[in-house]
Chain A
């Protein structure tokens, strides 16, 4: 009896987890979709290295990934930045296909904090990573444009907030990833898209035989597979048959 109850509970828990995840993904996607096509306001930013630049200058040459954080966060901010850093390293294309801006939304953060954060993440020397602060009204403007909500809990001094990564092309949001942790597979797809390359292939469950192409899902690279040889087989066979059949003295 106990086994049955435990089994039933476990089943319920699994179903619940799946549905909860589905519902969760569902709601975040709904929000992501809403963000696509929005235009970001231009504003001056103060970078960790002390430079002051316009936001628009960062997306002029390549698309820009924008995420929000604050330096004192003891929650998801720093892990989230690390995840993005690791994903970028895995997927590649930084600098060539896109650059990354981590913008602080905490008005107590300073340029020194930004430098500290870049150093902590070993990104201080990377010219394609920007840690920046901006004027309070500008931060309010850009976060509200992206529906990015944050709320300070007076008892802890910490912010309650979401995790958001948007891809911006010439000031326009083309893709948004919401939630922590960011799903790596969707981040890869986003990166490929920014690169202008697209992987037109996915695995069909149960498909084990020869294929036309073999893809590396981690890098997006793709090369011909042995299946293509099958397409040559008929020509080779026909030539072989012709040569064999005619391989005798004529007449």
Chain B
């Protein structure tokens, strides 16, 4: 039995509450698109904003919580900052809820300038929303820098980034968890600084009436959004590197290739954000090419090193399959499939036909929902199970996995199909010309409901363990 960390338990609790609610919002949106609940149609875009920012926030905070928890074996994060991270995130969520539910704020999660100032919601809700992001951004920035500080107490920068492996040395041994987290956190600082600049310029507009350049703001916004989402994914992978070997009974250590691949990722994935601006033809063409090349290159370390490594780890191993290891395993598959969908869309030629169609939510739901969230919940289950060691029922767990897989991939299939059929994303109602989108939405909602059922059953299972672990820890 391994006592669970109190902070981690709080994060698990927050995730277990927020995640299903946000899934329900997603189902609500697909239902409205199906043509049902017409009386609530005016809530579609506010709920879309809440669903988007809420999910990105939960993904980031939960994966960060996982990484911090796993890192406690090697380093010691500050207790005060851990509390601050919790309190700041909750405060940000409250501000966000007020802005969306009382102000009907609906500029979408990445608040693309100048939309927040030019929608049909009151100015105070814009201020409230921007404040929510400011609080979250500031909290997370402090959290990230503190984690870097904690890593720096034990490792030098070159060790934490595995440069000694690149130089051919194998000592000191640095776990991949530390290496990947360091890469992610450095990227995190960059992305949050971009977010801060975009926020400051947005505040200057809403409070001071000073307008900003839309293209500059778009670059800042997408750098922020792209990096935040990707680094959350990397944090999820980092804990997988740490935990999956425990189940496979084999080591998964850092070496020259792993270090090389993650250092490449750090450089390349930052430049890949340009693929969000392919359809802004005023961007210099060379930057567009860099976007596609960087997107393609970033798939090599992912496929050749991380995925291949994970499969090699599991292949013919004495794998102990339980909910945690299965979720980590299928989460990796989701990441790979979503990555394929993203890679296709990062081709400029294809992006012309897929940009802002449902292909976009299709692929990011694949690696966020069927990838990252499965990795994260798998890790959470791993923590709670390790802390309680309650008996597990394999057949029941297989049912949970089946529900999650069928529901999740069914829903995604509808997204991909809609995307290939040119159905735009973010439409509350489909016009007559695109009415076939409504049918896909209805089926998507059904599958998503199935996913939700699986999720609730799973959360009951993990919840029992969480309560017991919580009692022991607090």
Contact = CB atoms under 8 A, between A and B. Distances in A.
A183 interface: no
A201 interface: yes
B189 interface: yes
A2 interface: no
Interface stretch (B213-221, B242-250, B410-418): B213-221
A250 B182 CA distance: 15
Given A212-B219, A231-B223, A250 B154 contact: yes
Contact of B281 (A200, A211, A245): A200
Given A212-B219, A238-B187, A238-B189, A250 B159 contact: yes
B474 interface: no
Contacts of A233: 193-194, 197
Contacts of B193: 233-234, 237-238
A68 to B, nearest CB: 38
Interface string B200-214: 010010000111111
A238 B216 contact: no
Interface stretch (B145-153, B290-298, B342-350, B425-433): B145-153
A209 B210 contact: yes
A241 B210 contact: no
B376 interface: no
B307 to A, nearest CB: 27
A200 B155 CA distance: 49
B210 A246 contact: no
B282 A201 contact: yes
Given A238-B187, A246-B160, A209 B194 contact: no
B327 interface: no
A15 B201 CA distance: 37
A120 interface: no
Interface string A219-251: 000000001101101110111011101101011
Interface in B169-204: 186-187, 189-191, 193-194, 197, 201, 204
B294 to A, nearest CB: 14
B152 A246 contact: yes
B85 to A, nearest CB: 17
Nearest to B204: A209
A209 B203 CA distance: 13
Interface residues of A, number: 28
Nearest to B150: A245
B interface bracket (residues with beta carbon within 8 Å of A): 35 or more
A203 B215 CA distance: 13
Contact of A238 (B155, B186, B210, B213): B186
B156 A210 contact: no
A207 B197 contact: no
Contacts of A200: 281-282
A186 interface: no
A237 B211 CA distance: 25
Nearest to B187: A238
A246 B281 contact: no
Identify the interface centre among A206, A207, A211, A230: most chain B CB within 10 Å of its CB: A230
Contact of A211 (B159, B160, B209, B213): B213
Contact of A234 (B194, B214, B282): B194
B323 interface: no
A47 to B, nearest CB: 42
B111 to A, nearest CB: 17
B152 A204 contact: no
Nearest to B189: A238
A157 to B, nearest CB: 53
A51 interface: no
B270 interface: yes
Contact of B216 (A206, A227, A235, A250): A227
Contacts of A210: 212-213, 216
Interface centre among B145, B148, B190 (most CB of A within 10 A): B190
Given A238-B193, A242-B189, A243-B157, A209 B211 contact: yes
Nearest to B210: A209
A208 interface: yes
Q: Rank and list the top 4 A-B pairs by shortest CB-CB distance, nearest first.
A: A238-B190, A246-B157, A250-B156, A234-B193
Given A209-B213, A250-B159, 20 more contacts: A200-B282, A207-B211, A207-B213, A208-B210, A209-B201, A209-B210, A210-B216, A230-B197, A233-B194, A234-B190, A234-B193, A234-B197, A234-B223, A235-B190, A238-B186, A241-B148, A241-B189, A245-B152, A246-B152, A250-B152
